[in-house]
Structure formats: C-alpha cells, structure tokens
Homo-oligomer: A and B are copies of this chain.
Amino acid sequence: MGTTSDLRFHGGADAYLAACPSRQVLDVLANKWTLLVMGALSGGPVRFGALRRRLDGITQKMLTQTLRTLERDGLVTRTVYPTIPPRVEYAATPLGASVTDLLSGIRVWSEEHIDEILDARDAYDARAAREPRPVTG
C-alpha cells in the first residue's frame, strides 16, 4: 500500500502541503472554467459546440484544454460518434458528478452574494482613494 517514497499520500492527503498531490487537484478544480464546465454537464451529456455557446466568453482553445484536463483526471468522458460531420459528447463521470455539486455551490453563492461583494468593493476603493498611503503599521 505505498512505500515511504510513494508520492501518493494514502489516507493522509493534505492540500496545505505543497508536495501533496491533492494540491494538483486544487489547481484543476479551483478554476473558473472547470467550475462552469462541470456545472454545464450536470444535466447530462453535452456537445462541444453547445458547451462553447453556454460558457460565454470561453475560447475554443481554453474549452478544449479544460475538457482534456478533466478527461485526464477522470472527471469527464469524451465520446466520439463517427458521423459526418463528427459529433463529440462530453459527460461527467460518477467521480466528476460527485464534485459537481460542490463546484456549483460556489457559483450559486457568487450569484447570490454579488451585490454584497460589489458594495464591499466600492467601500474599499472609496476608502483607499481617501487615504494617501496606509503605511504598514
């Protein structure tokens, strides 16, 4: 079940440690496009073009890159139907589905609290404009 040199931290993963592989998972999950892609797949398989239209502002390159990463990590499957023109469907795996709700929670929270955040931002910026230079101490 893993030697001392095994980089897999069996039963003791800690994302606060830089060398822990779970840190790499955070790099994938803690990402705007990952979050939106997984949410878009929560209702079932979606075609590449549909995803691109749904994720307003994403480029083809970023969508492809995000999907490849998710596929590699086992969160998404890619199914090619050899028709002409080709049709490719993406779907969440059971593993992916198990994290989708957590990710969607972040998105929903953002949508629900956007006004409070914009207010806080305005207040902070106004205060910063008034004060010349709030030195360290």
Footprint of B on A, CB under 8 Å? Answer: 8-10, 13-23, 25-27, 29-32, 34-36, 40, 54-57, 71-75, 80, 82, 86, 95, 98-99, 102-103, 105-107, 109-121, 123-125, 136-137
Task: Evaluate contact between A72 and B111: CB separation under 8 angstroms.
Answer: no
Complex Cα gap A23–B110 (Å):
8
- Which of B13, B40, B121 is A110 in contact with, Cβ under 8 Å? B13
Residues of B near A112 (CB, < 8 A) are 13
Other A-B pairs, 17, CB within 8 Å; known A10-B115, A74-B119: A21-B118, A22-B114, A23-B57, A25-B114, A26-B32, A29-B109, A30-B32, A30-B34, A30-B35, A72-B120, A72-B125, A75-B117, A75-B120, A86-B136, A95-B117, A98-B109, A103-B106
Complex Cα gap A54–B14 (Å):
11
Q: Taking CB as reference atom, which chain B residue is nearest A94? A: B116
Complex Cα gap A116–B35 (Å):
19
Number of copies of this kind of chain in the complex: 2
- Which of B13, B57, B136 is A114 in contact with, Cβ under 8 Å? B13
Task: Evaluate contact between A8 and B106: CB separation under 8 angstroms.
Answer: no
Task: Evaluate contact between A29 and B106: CB separation under 8 angstroms.
Answer: yes
Residues of B near A80 (CB, < 8 A) are 137
